[in-house]
Structures are given as structure tokens and as C-alpha cells.
């Protein structure tokens, strides 16, 4: 790659070449113009790891804890390191642009992609995102802030109109983007799928041009979310530089015609091209050639950082009687659906194939010096567990053979097109290509052998974007080829899981054949559904067993166990892009399991994994409770480090956990109704609502305990003198923090501002700054948090279309671990207004 003379290149481009540069050529790459030495750029998901260019059978990658987990660290230095490793992973995958971070605001616990965003609070989310982007871009890789803006639900996500006041837009939904840009000028933005106040985000000139470019002065590339472009002229004129993915649906000849007919002035098209060429020049320093091979890193230092991230994200919610940390020398009983399952990430475009995973059971076993026993308790799967990892090929390898044909199984003398060895029996074929495949319609036979360990009735399940039949020893057990029903898997394009059952004997080997036909063979009505390539498949199986039997066994064992830990929660099946959760509850049986085990052994430790809040009807009976999120590659080790005290938990909740869904401020206004969703809670999202309405959540935003104790003292507040404008004016809070316990620990000091009575209603208090500090036992340090006065004091005045810093006495609260609050104040002597970044 070489540095381009951007203006010279623009002057030499033909209209057709300019048009070509404004759209991708495939799922991940931009167009190249060889005669002018304009190279193609590669993009890649995403928020918690760099997948590379393949959903299907791709190169494994480092998987970080999900964004709510990273949000729980409240650690800007750690997020900077995360960004640096993300960049290294991107370079290994030949990627110039990372499609992350996601910094949408979680209005509701039900949001299918809630786990992808850091927090319900814009200051926490934007600050962490800024440092994350800084780490990425220090190495020359481009970061992408997404999804701009109000992409907060999955229901009808491409069609829904998010109706939101300008005040809420500014104070809640745009704020994390604004703060992130103040810390690091991310090179790219990705637009949201949805409409915002009547106009799709990708063609919303007021937001893309008026706010982002003109008011905030940002100068980078705006791309659409994948298939999130809906017009030709409107999107180009509004400021959408790049339509993704390719091949184009809205540009090409349509855009050339729009320019020639003056629907799009050519200078506007030049602006779009200029932004892409500037991005190419930025990426030039990476030295990544076009179509670079994808490699795996998996370095020891990376595994160490991933483990640190997993451990530091864990939030100690309860620890009555100091049950935690556990004793390594004592025996332990491990129970629960998430114990031997690695819930390492949520579902959808954030998902990837990890280098490896560590289950909680493996993490505990590696730490314990005593006997480790296991009881399942219940299962938590929504869909039947994948069968692939439990199969063998004919030559004894784990997994099965994947054989591709242009003709169906019914046709004799088929020619084999491709043959792969796979382990996962879930595959999304949107980026699978083979030059011998003649069309979007082709067929795959998947064949392997399954030897059950126990006698019993086994259930088998099949989900397809296409058609599929599962056969055991030649008998059709599941037929998902006719009368198909629409489901939610694979971004909402797949069928529901169709099931069948068969009695199997332990030790007997059965031949499993799954016949699959791609998407065009399906009889589903796919109008209105975006087609992500030729299709997908998933087949799973499990022995049928009753929850009562499993729970009773667990309770019996727990009653007399020295130490008990229960691992429960959600997985990528329950929290995923494409659909929202229907409720906040754990999967069926989990609450009953936890309640009955706690009754049998009140000292049992409960560990919940989820990306967003869950209901906890048993919480008052639990003495020790950890929130562990989706923890990435090192999930199990990170949890075990905290359970056994090798890491003192320091995480704080980035989200409020309500007692019940009905307490959430968006309860009456979440989901699309007749094409729109009303943001009726206005600025009162998360803790702003609970505190204003005096509703006590189960656990508050910012909550988190430690194995040590801290004291905060000596708060001093300094406000810089006022000038004619608010520029460069600051408020500084200085406080002494001491570790008053017996073990090292880290405290997160939180700075809150309490507004005076003003002409509008305002939240009781708002987070405006934070800092993490590590302390040895008995050690004390001075912590200084400085925030700009205009950010600390302002609300959005819709009449003036500007931020208002109103005169009055502002309260200062400093909080952290425990209930202690230090109070101070400062005065704003005159009301002033401002706009800009």
C-alpha cells in the first residue's frame, strides 16, 4: 500500500470508479482501483474479538469477555490494553478496520445485543470506549464506533422507528459517542439499522452531517451496518460514505444515474470517496497487503491478559459471613448447567471461534487441591446441545465430514465438490465459497459416528436456513424439509428447531447422516428477511432426563458437601443478535435448582453468567453471589481466580439489576409496535429512573464488593474560575482512599454530580467521572478526578438547541465499595450555553 494524493486521485477517477468505491465488493472488503493504486481494505467483526473474514470454519481468534464484562472493570488502563491486543489480532487476520466497539445504551435487560455494549451510562460507556479505541488506533488499525444511534433492540430492528426527544437523544444516546470521540477520534462510524424520529439512521442528515460532522467536527468514514442501507440518493446526500456489504444493492448503476440526473451532486460523491481514500491512507502504515492470509496469535501474554480481563470483570454481589474466598484444600461440589459449558460470548456478529475455552468446572478443578465432584443439576440449553463435538469420523477424529455437491442426495452419480472435516455442528455459510459450486442452490452431506455413554431416549434437533434431514443408521429421525416454521436463529433467517427422538444403547456406535440443502430449497416465506448468503445449519442431541431427577441428585450431594458452587445463567442461545429476550428469567429449572440447593446448603456459592440482568427469586437465601458475565477464552480460569482469592474482585456493575422486569423504566415501551418504539422513559434510563422514582433495584449501578475494605476521606472540591465561555473550565475532586483490610485490592472511586433545582426536571445524580486505584493492606493514596465543568453541569435545552450549564449550587458525591458517601459542592455563578464536542 502507498500514500495516495487524495485530491489528485479524485480528479483522475471516472464516475464509475467513484461509485464503485462507495460500496463493498463482498462481505468484508472495499473495492480497489488497480490503475490508480487504490487498494482494497478489509473489515472484520467485532466487539469482543477479531473473527477474520469467515463466519464458517474460520481461523480461531482471541475472545475477550463481553462488553458488559469489560464495562464492569471500570478500568481505562485495562481497556487500553484490550484495544492494543485487538489491534494485534486484527493485524494477524489481515484486517485494517475493526467493527467495534458497540456503545449503544441498554434501555432494557431484554435487548438481544445488550451484552455487546458497556453500560447503561454514557460517561462510563464513552470513557471506556475512548480508551479502547485509543489502544486499537495506536497500532494503526481503525476502530469503528457503532451503532449510530438508538440501536437498542432487535425486534424489527431494520424497520422500527425510535421516537426519542432531543433531550434524551443528547443526554443519553449520543453521549457515549460524544465522550468517546473526545478521548480518541475513531476513524469510522457505523450507522444503526433503525429509523430515528422518522428517518433511517443511514440516511439521517441531521445526525450524520449536522451533529457528527459539523457540530462535533469529526472527519472520518461512515459505513452502514450490514444490509442497513435503504436508499441511493438520500443515503449518499446524508453522509453515508460506504454501503456494506457487497455486492451493492443501492449504488452501482443506480448511483451513477442519480449523479448524472443531479439527484446527487458529484461534489457530494467526491466527499464520500475522499473519506474512503483518507481511511486507506491511514491504514497504509499497517503494511497489510490486499487479501492477506489470516493467522492465529494465541500468545502466552495474550492468554494472561484475557485471564486478567475475565477475573477483573467479576462482580462480588454478596458475601455474607465471608464465605468467599473458598478454601483450596477442601473438597468442593460443582453444580449447574454452566459448569461444564463455556459461556464465553453472546450470539450473533459478536460470536467467533475461540482459540480455546476454559469451562468453570475446568477452572475450579485446576485450582482445587481437594476432591472436585460434579452434578449437572439442570440443563440450560434452549436448543439441543451440539452433536458435532460428540461424533467421530470414520478414521476416529472428533467431529464429522462435510461433503458438498451441486446435486441433491436423490441424484445418482453426484460429483463431490468439496470435503471438510468439522467439529461444530452449527455453521453459517454466508462466507463459504468454492469455485466449483454452480449456484446458490447446493447440497451438503454431513456424516459421522456417535457412541452414547448411557442407555436412554435421545432427542435430536435440526435448525436450518434451507432444508435438512437427520438420519441415524438410515432412519429419518428429524425431517425439516417441509411445512417449515420461522424461527430466530441465524439473525432471524432460520427455522425453529424441529425435533425427533430415538432409543439408543450405551456403547453402541450409530452412523449419523445429516442431509442439508441451502436456502433456496426452503419453503419458508422469506419476504422482508435479509438473506445472509446461501444458508446455515445446526443439529444437536441429548439424552432425555427429567429436571426433577437431576435436581434431586444435586440437592442430595449438596447437603453434606464441604464447599458448594452453583454455576448457572444464560448462553449465546439466550442472548443473541437477531431477537430480544422474552423475559429476564433464567432458563427453565435453574431457579428451582438454586433455591433447593441453597436450602440444603445455605453456604453454597452462586455464580451467574449473563450479559445483562436476570431475575433472582432466591437472592435473599444466597449468602455468596458472583456476577461473572460471558468471560471469553479464559472465562473458567478468571472465575476460579476470584472464587479462590487469587484475585480480589474489584468489578462494579455497569448496569442496574431490577428485582423484576416490570420495574425497568422501559417496561411499557420496549419492542416495536406498528413500526415504532416510543422512548417513553426519556432521560430516565437505568439508575436515573430508579433513583428518581425511589424504586430499589436488586443491585444498583456501581455496586460491587471486595475481599478487603476501603475508607475514603478528606474530600476537597476545586472549581476553576468562570470566564465568558465554559471552555477549559474544570471541577476537580480529590479524596484519600485507604485499604483498611488484610489483603491487596482495587477500589473504584466514583464521582457523581447532584444538580440544583433548575427549570427542568433532572436526575437525582449523574456519574461524571471515575478512577480505579490499587492498594496494599494499610496503604492509602490520593485520588484526583477532574471533569470538564460543562460536562459535569449541563442538560440539553431543546428550545435553544444547545447544552445549558445553569447557575446554582452543585453537589458532589464520591462513592465506591460500601455505603459510605463523601459530600462536597461547587457553585456555577451564571448560566451559559454551548454546543460542540
Residue 208 has φ and ψ, to the nearest 5°, of -70, -45
Q: Catalytic residue numbers?
A: 225
Distance, in Å, from the CA atom of 493 to the CA atom of 465, rounded to the nearest integer, reads: 6
Q: What number of CA atoms fall less than 13 Å from residue 688's CA on the CB side?
A: 22
Locate 273 and state its grid cell.
470517496
C-alpha cell at 448: 459421522
CA distances from 221 to 38, 97, 295, 371 (A): 16, 11, 27, 56
Q: Is 498 exposed, middle or buried (0-12, 13-18, 19+ CB in 10 A)?
A: buried
What is the 3-class SS of 459-504, one letter each residue?
EEEEEEECEEEEEECCEEEEEECCCCCECCHHHHCCECCEEEEEEE
CA distance 656 to 627: 12
Contact 833, 802 (CB under 8 A): yes
* Main-chain phi, psi angles of 166, to 5 degrees: -65, -30
Dihedral (CA of 299, 302, 303, 304) sign: positive
Rg (CA), the chain: 27
Helix (H) or strand (E) holding 167: helix 166-168
Would you call 245 helix, strand, or coil by DSSP?
A: coil
Q: Which three cell numbers stand for residue 428?
A: 453459517
The three cell numbers locating residue 431: 462466507
DSSP-derived secondary structure letter, 710:
E
Whether 70 and 100 have beta carbons less than 8 Å apart is answered as no
Q: For 625, phi and psi rounded to 5 degrees?
A: -140, 130
Peptide linkage before 247 cis (omega within 30 of 0)? yes
CB–CB of 517/466 below 8 Å?
yes
Query: Strands across the sheet with 188-191, in order?
Result: 43-45, 97-99, 142-148, 188-191, 221-223
Closest CA to 646 of 333, 364, 319: 364
Quick one: cell of 653? 456493575
Q: What does the alpha-carbon distance between residue 594 and residue 615 come to, in Å, rounded to a whole number?
A: 12
Residues 6+ apart with CB under 8 A from 304: none
User: Which string of DSSP letters, residue by residue, matches 191-211?
Assistant: E-SSEETTEEGGG-HIIIIII
Amino acid at each position: 500500500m502507498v500514500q495516495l494524493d487524495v485530491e489528485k486521485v479524485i480528479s483522475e477517477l471516472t464516475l464509475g470508479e467513484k461509485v464503485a468505491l462507495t460500496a463493498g465488493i463482498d462481505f468484508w472488503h472495499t473495492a480497489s482501483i488497480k490503475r490508480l493504486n487504490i487498494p482494497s481494505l478489509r473489515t472484520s467483526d467485532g466487539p469482543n474479538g477479531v473473527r477474520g473474514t469467515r463466519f464458517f470454519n474460520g481461523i480461531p481468534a482471541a475472545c475477550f469477555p463481553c462488553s458488559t464484562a469489560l464495562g464492569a472493570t471500570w478500568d481505562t488502563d485495562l481497556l487500553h490494553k484490550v484495544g492494543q491486543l485487538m489491534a494485534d489480532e486484527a493485524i494477524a487476520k489481515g484486517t485494517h478496520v475493526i467493527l467495534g466497539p458497540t456503545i449503544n445504551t441498554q434501555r432494557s435487560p431484554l435487548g438481544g445485543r445488550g451484552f455487546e455494549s458497556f453500560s447503561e451510562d454514557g460517561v462510563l460507556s464513552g470513557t471506556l470506549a475512548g480508551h479502547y479505541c485509543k489502544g486499537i488506533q495506536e497500532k494503526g488499525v481503525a476502530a469503528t464506533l457503532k451503532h449510530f444511534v438508538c440501536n437498542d433492540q432487535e425486534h424489527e430492528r431494520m424497520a422500527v422507528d425510535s421516537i426519542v426527544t432531543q433531550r434524551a437523544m443528547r443526554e443519553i444516546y449520543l453521549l457515549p459517542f460524544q465522550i468517546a470521540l473526545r478521548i480518541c477520534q475513531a476513524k469510522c462510524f457505523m450507522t444503526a439499522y433503525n429509523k430515528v424520529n422518522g428517518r433511517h439512521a443511514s440516511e439521517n442528515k441531521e445526525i450524520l452531517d449536522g451533529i457528527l460532522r459539523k457540530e462535533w467536527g469529526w472527519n472520518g468514514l461512515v459505513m452502514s451496518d450490514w444490509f442497513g442501507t435503504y436508499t441511493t440518493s438520500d443515503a449518499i446526500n446524508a453522509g453515508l460514505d460506504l454501503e456494506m456489504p457487497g455486492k451493492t444493492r443501492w449504488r452501482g448503476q443506480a448511483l451513477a444515474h442519480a449523479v448524472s440526473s443531479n439527484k446527487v451532486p458529484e461534489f457530494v460523491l467526491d466527499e464520500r470517496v475522499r473519506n474512503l481514500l483518507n481511511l486507506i491512507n491511514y491504514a497504509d502504515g499497517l503494511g497489510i497487503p490486499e487479501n492477506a492470509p489470516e493467522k492465529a496469535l494465541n500468545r502466552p501474554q495474550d492468554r494472561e491478559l484475557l485471564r486478567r480481563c475475565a477475573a477483573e470483570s467479576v462482580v462480588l454481589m454478596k458475601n455474607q459471613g465471608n464465605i468467599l474466598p473458598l478454601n483450596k484444600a477442601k473438597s468442593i461440589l460443582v453444580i449447574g448447567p454452566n459448569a461444564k459449558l463455556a459461556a464465553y460470548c453472546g450470539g450473533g456478529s459478536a460470536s467467533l471461534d475461540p482459540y480455546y475455552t476454559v469451562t468453570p468446572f475446568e477452572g475450579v478443578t485446576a485450582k482445587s487441591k481437594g476432591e472436585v465432584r460434579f452434578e449437572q443439576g439442570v440443563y440450560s440449553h434452549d436448543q439441543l446441545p451440539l452433536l458435532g463435538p460428540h461424533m467421530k469420523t470414520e478414521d476416529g477424529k472428533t467431529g464429522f465430514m462435510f461433503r458438498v455437491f451441486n446435486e441433491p442426495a436423490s441424484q445418482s452419480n453426484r460429483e463431490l465438490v468439496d470435503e471438510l472435516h468439522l467439529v461444530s455442528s452449527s455453521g453459517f455459510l454466508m462466507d463459504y465459497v468454492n469455485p466449483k459450486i454452480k449456484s446458490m442452490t447446493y447440497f451438503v452431506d454431513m456424516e459421522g459416528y456417535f457412541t452414547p455413554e448411557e442407555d436412554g431416549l435421545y432427542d435430536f434437533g435440526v435448525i436450518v436456513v434451507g432444508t435438512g434431514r437427520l438420519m441415524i443408521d438410515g432412519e429419518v429421525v428429524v425431517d425439516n424439509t417441509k411445512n417449515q416454521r420461522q424461527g430466530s436463529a441465524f439473525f432471524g433467517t432460520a427455522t425453529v428447531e424441529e425435533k425427533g427422538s430415538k432409543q439408543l444403547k450405551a456403547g453402541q456406535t450409530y452412523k449419523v447422516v445429516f442431509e442439508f440443502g441451502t436456502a433456496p430449497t426452503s419453503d419458508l416465506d422469506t419476504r422482508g428477511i435479509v438473506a445472509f448468503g446461501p444458508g446455515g445449519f445446526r443439529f444437536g442431541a441429548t439424552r432425555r432426563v427429567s429436571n426433577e431427577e437431576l435436581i434431586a441428585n444435586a440437592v442430595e450431594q449438596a447437603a453434606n458437601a464441604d464447599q458448594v458452587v452453583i454455576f448457572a445463567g444464560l448462553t449465546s442461545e439466550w442472548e443473541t443478535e437477531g431477537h430480544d429476550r422474552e423475559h429476564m428469567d433464567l432458563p427453565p429449572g435453574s431457579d428451582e435448582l438454586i433455591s433447593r440447593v441453597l436450602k440444603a446448603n445455605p453456604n453454597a456459592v452462586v455464580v451467574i453468567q449473563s450479559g445483562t440482568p436476570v431475575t433472582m427469586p432466591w437472592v435473599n437465601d444466597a449468602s455468596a453471589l458472583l456476577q461473572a458475565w460471558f468471560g471469553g477464552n479464559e472465562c473458567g480460569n478468571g472465575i476460579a481466580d476470584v472464587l479462590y482469592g487469587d484475585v480480589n474482585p474489584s468489578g462494579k456493575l455497569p448496569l442496574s439489576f431490577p428485582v423484576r422486569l416490570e420495574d425497568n423504566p422501559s417496561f411499557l415501551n420496549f419492542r416495536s409496535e406498528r413500526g415504532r418504539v416510543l422512548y417513553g422513559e426519556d432521560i430516565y434510563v437505568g439508575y436515573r429512573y430508579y433513583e428518581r422514582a425511589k424504586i430499589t433495584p436488586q443491585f444498583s449501578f456501581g455496586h460491587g464488593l471486595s475481599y478487603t475494605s476501603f475508607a475514603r476521606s478528606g474530600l476537597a472540591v476545586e472549581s476553576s474560575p468562570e470566564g465568558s465561555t465554559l471552555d477549559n473550565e474544570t471541577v476537580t475532586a480529590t479524596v484519600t482512599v485507604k485499604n483498611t483490610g488484610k489483603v491487596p485490592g482495587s477500589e473504584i472511586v466514583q464521582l457523581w454530580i447532584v444538580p440544583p433545582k433548575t427549570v427542568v426536571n433532572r436526575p437525582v445524580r449523574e456519574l461524571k467521572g471515575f478512577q480505579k486505584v490499587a492498594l496494599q493492606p494499610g496503604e492509602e493514596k490520593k485520588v484526583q478526578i477532574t471533569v470538564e465543568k460543562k460536562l459535569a453541569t449541563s442538560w440539553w435545552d431543546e428550545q435553544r438547541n444547545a447544552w445549558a450549564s445553569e447557575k446554582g449550587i452543585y453537589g458532589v458525591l464520591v462513592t465506591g465499595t460500601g455505603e459510605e458517601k463523601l459530600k462536597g459542592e461547587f457553585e456555577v455563578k451564571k448560566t451559559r450555553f454551548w454546543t460542540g464536542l
